[in-house]
Amino acid sequence: MASLPFSATSFHSTFVCFNYKARNPNLFFLKKGSSFTFSRRKFFIKSVASDQRQDLKEEGQITEEASLDTFVPDSASIASSIKYHSEFTPSFAPDHFKLPKAFKATAESVRDSLIINWNATYAYYEKINVKQAYYLSMEYLQGRALLNAIGNLELTGAYAEALKKLGHNLEDVAREEPDAALGNGGLGRLASCFLDSLATLNYPAWGYGLRYKYGLFKQYITKDGQEEVAENWLEMGNPWEIVRNDVSYPVKFYGEVISGPEGIKEWVGGEDITAVAYDVPIPGYKTKTTINLRLWSTKVAPEKFDLSAFNAGDHAKAYSAMKNAEKICYILYPGDESLEGKTLRLKQQYTLCSASLQDIIARYERRSGEFLNWEIFPEKVAVQMNDTHPTLCIPELIRILIDVKGLSWEQAWNITQSYINGDLSTRTVAYTNHTVLPEALEKWSLELMEKLLPRHVEIIKMIDEELIQTITDEYGTEDLDLLQEKLKQMRILDNIELPESVAEMIAKPEKSSVEAIESTEEDDVSDEETEPTAEEDELEEEEIEEKNEVPPIIEPDPKLPKLVRMANLCVAGGYAVNGVAEIHSEIVKNEVFSDFYEMWPEKFQNKTNGVTPRRWIRFCNPDLSKIITKWTGSVDWVVNTEKLVTLRNFADNEDLQSEWREAKRRNKVKVASFLREKTGYIVNPDAMFDVQVKRIHEYKRQLLNIMGIVYRYKKMKEMSHEERKASFVPRVCIFGGKAFATYVQAKRIVKFITDVGATVNHDPEIGDLLKVVFVPDYNVSVAEMLIPGSELSQHISTAGMEASGTSNMKFAMNGCILIGTLDGANVEIRQEVGEDNFFLFGAEAHEIAGLRKERAEGKFVPDPRFEEVKAYVRSGVFGPYNYEELMGSLEGNEGYGRADYFLVGKDFPSYIECQDKVDEAYRDQKRWTKMSILNTAGSYKFSSDRTIHEYARDIWRIDPVVLP
């Protein structure tokens, strides 16, 4: 006999169970208080939540009409729910209730609550047929979901108490959850912050992505530097997702396009796969709104398994079709050095776009019912492309509308893009640009795309022709040099001949009205005029030839590849284009897409990025959150970050400063413990914690940071013990981030950082005065640990190259002071927190081109201190690894991988001088604490709630929908 109390807010008092004594399970129903025999054990099912709800109803606190989801569960009902899932939703052996099992059961208990609101949200959206925004992204860097979900549901205390009753600590249980391996850097984290804000602000929206089995990779740090192994985040299952086996769509590759009756195009043959939906609920904070992240996984139908080949022993052939389909969703950003890698990436992008667009259209048709009207499609649907990865949704939308739904080209094109008189409200597809880096402004081989997606290439050529016509209408044919230059820069198809009609038009321009008048006047000249001499005749013929000479049409270069420029397709095919920080948006308008901006200035907007204050202060930094709530007077700042500005009034208050420092030190102690666990290094929590954590890339300049540390270390070694203590503030320099597996130079930088750390950290002369720690496998959960305990954060990219950055916002929110260049959102952060509370150095964006030109001309003279550091590295003090390639990249005036393209040497002197100012400020802890408080106060602007409000108002034209 065993008694099992049960309650969960998602389960009513009637339960469905199976009698397993019979070979064919028979359903029977159990009412509250029933007992039954199950596997020779007798259980008593008691609905605690229902009992408590009945008590409240009798007391008049809730009405008969109130639904179960209005009931707030207590710790007893939550504990019963967790025990229920550990018993009846088993993923582990029944014998023990250890941490992995406790996490899974707890997550499933939370998911029950989410499902109620989740279903209610979309039932209501369906009922009122509201306009909805759909966010397409190749990345969602979600992090752990448990604490965020129960925090948004306001159940943190209840779950902590429930787990305590069951013998576990909530934080220990939460640490069992692996980070979802669906993203890599800021692009994916931004997408996840946006979903949180969309739900919190009650905007009708939906995210679409891919369900990567192995993610990017798990990073290990060894004596050889970074090593990559496959992520195992799905190994124990994902309790948050629900597979929708009834929601799947066909996706086609290869094949050919044939013309059917009445010119209808049909894409036939080729390789067919199926995209299956996996849904993940995204709860809002203090709201019932729970939106959806739909992830696609890929497979083929069972009949694609070649049973004959398998039985004949040719196993590889038997399951080749299955593997080809499944591998699409294996890895985030597979290496694209090979043709196979490029093909796989393109397949991923098309799978995301095709499955998502088919789903969006199916939802629109279902909501429309018998009143289906394609003309109002953009009044119900807004599609946001998160960078260029989802660009194929433009031709895919057109393909579906024309080939499947029977619309004309004009109708489909107008639905997708047509920017009519500045009216954004009637269009569908919009584009967010996240980078100025050429490699991220994707260009695909036309040959590959024609082979893989033949119908889409036809549509892209039609879009290109529309664009050419628009450019020609805008600039005319009088100045052919100008026109051809515009076509060269703006066309979607690069190094490809002009359409025949356009080529003829440019080659034979019509006479202008002025030329026609001049010609008429010449015909009317009196016969009495003197006849020209032979010499004059010859001169006149030369002038006529010169006048009629047409500049040669730009011919394709056979030595260069034919390309499809995806960013140009985004701008041409989307109705709105936005950058993600003020300086970035200006670069987008004036440099990256200057020709498009000249022609369509109304298309371009700025939407400075933001981060959710729930995850990035409220939940990851509870000590600081309590202080903010106390001094601002309420917890309203969690959704109205403007309330953070109140802290400015108390920045000099000694009581606040004392509380602030104590909270920071507690967080630093946690970081020190974490670093010891992850790396073995012991650090002093009383030292300054100096952090640079982000994707490893040359433009982000981790190399500048570590070379500054080398300079600091070298100067320390040249001093006596007393001189060192007097000259330097103790620092713990923390790095984290992944170098892409095939990015050799970035991996050299990781190796260099770890070698410097190995030398410095074991130097008894230096001791706690300087430590260098590289945290392996940096992810959201690591960030949630490091950011609250950080004191100085480095955002030191080459000016003009970081679109925005979002980690700079997270650090500022948590009272961390930034050192950085005037790049990305640094510019706006500095404006808001105050120039005196930001450590600024380095060249500015408008200087960069001139500085590179100066370098190419051999005019750059490196600072002696920079040369000193390079020589010190080459001396072998950091081990036997040959750093010649790394140091060589900072030398020379030209050449791939050389000439210091990212201006490390140029900015090095101002960087180390700025670091001296950091030391000086840190010595005055009262001043430093005030700076820290003012950074948190000034971060009010950088909430993703503010960003989402702007997207909803200016681009998507959607309104909040509050569930009744």
pLDDT value for 67: 40
Residue 677: half-sphere exposure toward Cβ, Cα within 13 Å: 8
In a domain, 500, yes or no: no
Could you confirm whether 806 is annotated as catalytic?
Answer: yes
- Does the pLDDT value for residue 60 go beyond 60? no
Catalytic-labelled residue, pool 213, 700, 738, 930? 700
Q: Rounded to 10 degrees, what is the CA torsion of 742, 744, 746, 748?
A: 140
Total domains present in the chain: 1
Judged on CB neighbours under 10 Å (0-12, 13-18, 19+), 484 is middle
Chain segment 621-632, per-residue pLDDT in tens: 999 999 999 999
When pLDDT is averaged across residues 139-149 and rounded to a whole number, the result is: 96
> Cα–Cα distance between 144 and 182 in angstroms, integer?
12
The mean pLDDT value of the chain amounts to 88
In a domain, 270, yes or no: no
In a domain, 894, yes or no: yes
The amino acid at 151: G
> Cα–Cα distance between 603 and 432 in angstroms, integer?
12
The amino acid at 694: K
Percent of the chain with pLDDT over 70: 87
Judged on CB neighbours under 10 Å (0-12, 13-18, 19+), 257 is middle
Most confident of 310-324, 429-443, 484-498: 484-498
In a domain, 75, yes or no: no
- Does the pLDDT value for residue 59 go beyond 70? no
C-alpha closest to that of 739 among 227, 141, 140, 143? 227
Catalytic-labelled residue, pool 144, 363, 694, 738? 694
Could you confirm whether 347 is annotated as catalytic?
Answer: no
Catalytic-labelled residue, pool 391, 806, 821, 947? 806
In a domain, 708, yes or no: yes
When pLDDT is averaged across residues 728-752 and rounded to a whole number, the result is: 97
pLDDT value for 509: 52
In a domain, 95, yes or no: no
SS3 271: strand
Catalytic-labelled residue, pool 584, 607, 810, 852? 810
CATH of the domain at 784: 3.40.50.2000
pLDDT value for 90: 73
Angle between helices 99-128 and 75-88 (to 10 degrees): 100
pLDDT value for 5: 36
Catalytic-labelled residue, pool 695, 731, 852, 906? 695
**Higher confidence at residue 899 or residue 40?**
899
- Does the pLDDT value for residue 891 go beyond 80? yes
pLDDT value for 274: 97
Percent of the chain with pLDDT over 90: 78
When pLDDT is averaged across residues 90-107 and rounded to a whole number, the result is: 89
Could you confirm whether 612 is annotated as catalytic?
Answer: no
Residue 354: half-sphere exposure toward Cβ, Cα within 13 Å: 24
- Does the pLDDT value for residue 18 go beyond 50? no
Q: Which spans in 335-380 are helix H?
A: 339-368
C-alpha closest to that of 885 among 896, 693, 798? 896
- Integer CA distances (angstroms), 608 to 390, 806, 935, in order: 21, 10, 18
Chain segment 413-472, per-residue pLDDT in tens: 999 875 545 554 558 999 999 988 877 789 999 999 999 999 999 999 999 999 999 999
Catalytic-labelled residue, pool 434, 456, 486, 751? 434
Strands (E), 189-334: 205-210, 218-222, 225-229, 242-253, 256-259, 265-268, 271-283, 290-299
- Does the pLDDT value for residue 685 go beyond 90? yes
Domain of 782 in residue numbering reads as 622-942
pLDDT band at 540 (very low <50, low <70, confident <90, very high): low
Of 51-60, 417-426, 504-513, 811-820, minimum mean pLDDT range: 51-60
Could you confirm whether 930 is annotated as catalytic?
Answer: no
Tally of residues, the chain: 964
Which residue carries 């208050």 as its tokens? 653
Q: Provide the total of helices (H) and of strands (E) in the chain, helices listed first.
A: 37, 27
Of 8-12, 81-85, 698-702, minimum mean pLDDT range: 8-12
Chain segment 792-807, per-residue pLDDT in tens: 999 999 999 999 999 9
Could you confirm whether 434 is annotated as catalytic?
Answer: yes
When pLDDT is averaged across residues 505-514 and rounded to a whole number, the result is: 55
In a domain, 523, yes or no: no
pLDDT value for 504: 74
Task: Name the phi and psi angles at 420, rounded to 5.
Answer: -105, 110
Chain segment 555-584, per-residue pLDDT in tens: 889 999 999 999 999 999 999 999 999 999
Output the pTM of the full model.
0.89
pLDDT value for 930: 98
In a domain, 22, yes or no: no
The amino acid at 246: D
- Does the pLDDT value for residue 9 go beyond 70? no
What's CA 351's distance to the chain center, in Å?
18
